[in-house]
Amino acid sequence: MQLTVESKKALFKKHGAKKSDKDTGSPESQIALFTTRINHLTEHLKSNKKDFGTQTGLLNLVGKRKRLLNYLQNTDIARYRAILAELDLRK
């Protein structure tokens, strides 16, 4: 799955902290991007159970997202709760 430039810009505009399409560095926009990739890889692994390379990549992405969520929780709890509600994540 290759995300197009337009879909990434829309994702950053919707979930980024500054609500601009160039806000690629904020934790919220990175978490949203990781969540999109995680959902895609999860669907891929449902039909390709023995694709262990993808499984390793998925676990790496989940770990990165978890570290970003922990960072956001420790620095700004309001932004943390907002991104959890926007992306419908449970933690």
pLDDT of residue 11: 87
C-alpha to C-alpha distance for 27 and 46, rounded to whole angstroms:
28
The pTM (predicted TM-score) of the whole model is 0.90
Cα–Cα distance, 91 to 78 (Å, whole number): 15
pLDDT (average), residues 79-89: 93
Residue with more model confidence, 70 or 8: 70
Q: What share of the chain is helix, strand, coil (3-state, %, to 5)?
A: 75, 0, 25
User: Residue 15 above 70 pLDDT?
Assistant: yes
Q: Is residue 52 predicted with pLDDT exceeding 80? A: yes
| Average pLDDT in the chain | 91
Domains of the chain: 5-11+26-87 (1.10.287.10)
Structure tokens at 56: 């390793």
Res 1 pLDDT > 70 = no
